[in-house]
Each structure stands twice: as structure tokens, then as C-alpha cells.
Structure 1
Amino acid sequence: MTETMNNTANTTVRNIAVVGTGVIGASWTADFLARGFTVVAADPADGAEERLRRWVDDFWPALTTIGLAENASKENLTFTSSIPDAVRDADFIQENGPERLEVKKAILEQIESAAQPEAIIATSSSGLLITEVQKGMRHPERMVLGHPFNPPHLIPLVEVLGGETTSAETVDQALAFYAEIGKKPIRINREVPGHVANRLQTALWTEMFHLVSAGVASVEDIDTAISYGPGLRWALLGPFLNLHASGGDAGITHVLEHLGPAMRGWSKDLGDYPETEDYIPVMAEGVEQELDGFDWAETLNQRDELLLQLLAAKNGKPQIP
């Protein structure tokens, strides 16, 4: 069922600039438009505007299902190839440039040449340290991590973190803004490479590459083990609360006291992330075998439909943290 969202009247943000309109930037753009904002998007790449508007059209049905703000419209999107022109009147800037420090710094230099001093600049960087990114900025206090998960218009998680020279006020404002537009922001208290969720994913990736390489299980069986096993529970409560639920009345304390010795043994037997690229063809071949006979585009569409149903179910159960 399609619902109309409440307007974003509580936030002081009115105009948003999206810098970089690849997959992540396009998804952010569609999400902001659906929340009722005016968006100016910038990308100097050839064909960027046509690609962006096509992606926004593709994303819009899912956003309509989630629920649009009263004044949401794709017509609220303006495109320019000029980064300074895009950010000039923005209250909030979502930057989505390449994961290369010098490129990121060059983009930020263009942003700062025209942005209002009080405008918040949030980077979608998945791994760069904010302290390194903000070095050399004229207003580093307004630079913050706003790292989403793909696709941002569907996945609510946003990791928020300030660097050494980011003001506490900026971090608080970013957290509040993302929460007000329906995201699930988390505050990261200390900089580490890869932030939080990607590090958790990398721990799982390391072991799944090891298990396949060692011949313990196939690519398809690893996917089945997660998607029809702990992945179902993780989507509802998260790993800590699931451990707590497994312990009965005594909760997580009982689980860790009971399984702790065994878990320590398992951890010592875990594999290491591959040091060479020899594993890549093996994983790719396994994925091809798993997808044999499937229409991948249709599979992704089905994934998104199920994701929307899951999100709707979670939103209808406020007692679930």
C-alpha cells in the first residue's frame, strides 16, 4: 500500500546538493526528492544527467511504495556539470566522489569555493578516514561522514562520524537530519578504516572466501547458509540481540558462558583474507553456477520487493529495536 509521508518540516535543511551521481549518488538523489527536498545534482561526466534521471525514474516506484512526502516530485531535481553551482544555495551537501583521497580533496576544494560556510558536507566514503579527508579545508568543522549502504533509497543505515576537526554540533546535526528523513543513523565514536558495518561484512567475507577455497562448501551453499539461516534473524534483531534471545531467561550471559570456550576454538580456526587474487576466478565461477538458469535482473527486482516488505514489517513493529 502506498502511503504519504509526513513532510520534513522539522528539519532546517531545505535545499540539498548531491555531488557525484553514480549509483550511490543517484540513489541518494531519488531518496532526497522522495522526502520533499529540492535537489541540485552535479557530475561532470559525459551522459551523467541522462543516466541520473533514468535511475531516478527506476527508483521512484519503490519510493512510492515506501511513501512520498506531500511535496515530493522528480521535478524538484536540477542538474549541472558545475560543482560550485550545485552547492551555492545548499544547506546540506552529500558528496559521493571516488574513493581516492586526492580526488576527494579536489572535489571538496570546489565545494568550499562556493558553499555557504554553515552548510554541512557529508561524504559517502566507505573507507577513507575523515580526518585525512578534511585536512586543508577552510571549514573542516562542517565535514562529516554520512556513509550509506547500497542502495541508499532502500537501505536505512547511515554511519555518521566526525574527524578530529569536525565540530560536535555538526555530528549532532547530521545524525538528526538523517533520522528525520527516515534513515537509521549510527554514531561512530572513533575512526577506524572501513568504519563499522563494512568491517563486520569483511569478517564474514574473509571466512566465506576461506571456506570455499578450502573446499568446505560451495558458493551457493554459503549463500544458502546465510540467507536461510542467521541472515533471517540478523535482519530482525541484529547479532547481539539474537545471542541474547538464544540464552533464554539468562540471555547473552548464558550463551557466552556456555558456548564461549567453543567459540574461542572456532575463532582460532578461521581463515585469513586471501593475500593474492587467485581466489577471484573461483568465487566468480561459483556465482555463475549459482545463477545458472536465473534472470539476474528479475532476481534483483524480487530482492527489492521482498526488502520493501521486510522494511514495512519492521516499521510496523516499533518494539523491535
Structure 2
Amino acid sequence: MPEPAEVTTVACVGAGVIGGGWAAHFLARGYHVRAWDPAPGAGDRLRRLVDAAWPALTELGLAEGASPDNLTVLPALADAVADAGFVQESAPENLAVKRALLADIDAVAPPGVVVASSTSGFPMSDMQVDAARPGRLVVGHPFNPPYLIPLVEVVGGDKTEQWAVDWASTFYRHVGKSVITMDRELPGFIANRLQEALWREALHMVAAGEATVEQIDTAITEGPGLRWPVHGPCLTFHLAGGEGGMAHMLDHFGPSLKAPWTRLDAPELTRELRDGMVSGCESEADGRSIAELVAERDRAIIAVQRAVHASRGGQR
């Protein structure tokens, strides 16, 4: 088993949006990346994704020796993981696919190498059941795009050994990630549970004709979203209590916690709701392509991160 700081080559298994984002991040940190994806044309799509991300990564600052040329796309899974010191799996969110793929990776990856899954919802306990060496399998749940958003949630399954969780957490921190090492498995993990609650409420308002897609997005970007890069929801409400802090906020506003406006059950995804969300996003995009929106997002995220970093005196 290599030490986290000794790893020079990372295997990215799955080269979609998340897997490609991981590949771009590892390349920018100076690693050699060996990628595998069975989909036709996956290699070309991966290289386009890396090229699109590279200007933002260059602006953030590249590690010594970092280059898109350090990416190699291999035709066989075994070849991709053969020399890897770490494996990041990012296959589609299909439990059967995840189980089979993780078992295949485990069968061909060098002994002692940690294998992490980018799953956004499946517990590792459910995914590691077919692996011969499940002790080295962990969840490394990123956020899109992985090359810009620092958060990674790390947690093992019933058969994961603690050393693998500790190793993965250390490695992710070494490559510049902000890591939450979870104490236990939780469906949807932590951050997804929080953003999904907001997402369900948004869908309810659109479905009921109470708000448009653009109004909902503006409500966040011009409202609480401006506070969240600095303080999360808990400290935000702590400040809402004034000098009395969270205690005063709960005592004063506590009864509203069960107010009737909250509808956390998922709404029925009708054709009308689906079409309304699609047309609303197209209207808000106002002719901007996906590539243009990605570039706009990346520029803004970098600016926000730099501003918050500066406001904290250079401390994360």
C-alpha cells in the first residue's frame, strides 16, 4: 500500500461528467491519469471535458508538471488500473452496474490500493457485496464539478476496513480536497440530503404554479446563497438569533419549524412539471449554451473562493 503522498498515478474508471471532472482535477494536481470507460467515443469526450476545464484550472494554479498530456485512455480496465496508486470509480448510478464494476476493479487493481466510488446515493455496504477484497472499498462522493468544488464525503461500508477510510481521507486532503469523513453510512450522505430538500421544495413550487424556475434560482443566488460560502445554514441561523444566537433563534422561531409551507415529500414528476422545468431553464439560460454556462459558473466559483479565502486572511 503506497503512502498517500507517494501516489503518482490515478485511475479514473468512468469518464462522464463526474469521472471527467475527477480526471481534470488529478491532472491539474500533477498526476498521471489512466482512464477507462466502455462507452463508444468516451475517450474523445473525456479529452474535450479536460480541455474545457483547463482554463479554470490554470487560473487557480497548476501543480508542477501538470498537463493534459498526462492523460492516457486505455481500452481495457485491467490496463487502466495496473499501475495506479488510487482508483476513482465514477460509473452511472445503477446499483447492479456499481456492484459488478467494483468487483471487477477489485479483481485487477494492485493489492492494497484503495478504490473509491463517486456514488451520489448508494451506500458502500450495498455496492461491495461481490468484491473479493471489500475492505479497501470506500465512498468518495464529490460535487460537480469535481475540479472546482472542494468537498468530498468519505465513508466506508459494513465490510470496509478503517485503514481504507483513513487513507482515502488523507489522500483527498493531499490533492486539495475539503473532506468530511463520515462516522456512519447515511442514505444520500450529508450534502446531498441538504440540497435535495431544497430541490424538492423548488419542484413543488413550480408544480403548483407558485414560482418560476428563474424566481427560484434568483431567490437563492441573490439571497441565502450569498451567505452560504461563508457560513453554513446552522451558523447563518445562529446569527439570525442576534446576541442570543441559536438559542434565541430556536426559542423565537421554533414553532415555525412545522409550518404548513414545508412540503418535503417529493412531488409527482408529471409530464407537465418536467416540461415546465425544462422550458424554465431554457428561458433562464436565454440562449447561452451549456459550454457558455459552464464557463460562466467556473469563473464565478473561482472568484467566490478567492474572495472568501481573502476574507479569512488566507485560511480555509
Q: Give the TM-score category using the shorter length.
A: over 0.9
Give the deviation of 1:65 after TM superposition: 0.8
2:209 aligned residue: 215
Give the deviation of 1:130 after TM superposition: 0.4
Contact 2:197–2:264, Cα closer than 8 Å, also in 1: no
Distance in 2 between residues matched to 1:107 and 1:224, nearest whole Å: 40
1:232 aligned residue: 226
Distance in 2 between residues matched to 1:89 and 1:292, nearest whole Å: 46
**Please, which of 19, 28, 42 is the counterpart of residue 22 of structure 2?**
28
1:109 aligned residue: 103
1:274 aligned residue: 267
Name structure 2 gaps, 5 residues minimum.
none
Contact 1:34–1:69, Cα closer than 8 Å, also in 2: yes
2:246 aligned residue: 252
2:89 aligned residue: 95
Contact 1:148–1:159, Cα closer than 8 Å, also in 2: yes
Name structure 1 gaps, 5 residues minimum.
1-8
Give the deviation of 1:93 after TM superposition: 0.2
Residues 275, 217 of structure 1: alpha-carbon distance in 2 compared, 3 angstrom cutoff: closer
1:144 aligned residue: 138
2:159 aligned residue: 165
Matched, 1:124 2:113: no
Matched, 1:265 2:259: yes
Comparing 45-54 with 142-151, which one deviates more in the overlay? Answer: 45-54
3-state SS of 1:235 partner: coil
> 1:283-302: CA deviations, max 9, x gaps?
22322333345555433322
1:19 aligned residue: 13
2:34 aligned residue: 40
Distance in 1 between residues matched to 2:149 and 2:118, nearest whole Å: 14
After TM superposition, list the pairs within 5 Å mapping 1:269-308 onto structure 2: 269-270=262-263, 272-278=265-271, 279-292=273-286, 294=288, 297-308=291-302
Residues 42, 296 of structure 1: alpha-carbon distance in 2 compared, 3 angstrom cutoff: closer
TM-score, length-scaled by structure 2: 0.92
Amino acid corresponding to residue 29 of structure 1 in structure 2: A
> 1:32-73: CA deviations, max 9, x gaps?
011111111111222222221222111111111111111212
Contact 2:116–2:138, Cα closer than 8 Å, also in 1: yes
3-state SS of 2:33 partner: strand
Give the deviation of 1:202 after TM superposition: 1.3
Residues 293, 30 of structure 1: alpha-carbon distance in 2 compared, 3 angstrom cutoff: closer
3-state SS of 1:119 partner: coil
Alpha-carbon RMSD across the aligned residues, in angstroms, is 1.9
Give the deviation of 1:129 after TM superposition: 1.4
1:196 aligned residue: 190
3-state SS of 2:108 partner: coil
Contact 1:210–1:272, Cα closer than 8 Å, also in 2: no
> 1:219-244: CA deviations, max 9, x gaps?
21111111100111112211111111
Give the deviation of 1:85 after TM superposition: 0.8
Give the deviation of 1:217 after TM superposition: 1.9
Comparing 193-202 with 139-148, which one deviates more in the overlay? Answer: 193-202
Amino acid corresponding to residue 157 of structure 1 in structure 2: L
Amino acid corresponding to residue 310 of structure 2 in structure 1: G
3-state SS of 1:52 partner: helix
Comparing 286-295 with 297-306, which one deviates more in the overlay? Answer: 286-295
Residues 85, 237 of structure 1: alpha-carbon distance in 2 compared, 3 angstrom cutoff: same
Give the deviation of 1:10 after TM superposition: 7.0
Amino acid corresponding to residue 277 of structure 1 in structure 2: T
Q: How many aligned residue pairs are there?
A: 312
Give the deviation of 1:215 after TM superposition: 2.4
2:50 aligned residue: 56
Contact 2:12–2:36, Cα closer than 8 Å, also in 1: yes
3-state SS of 2:229 partner: helix
Contact 1:38–1:77, Cα closer than 8 Å, also in 2: yes
Give the deviation of 1:312 after TM superposition: 1.6
**Please, which of 77, 87, 93 is the counterpart of residue 83 of structure 1?**
77
Amino acid corresponding to residue 110 of structure 1 in structure 2: D
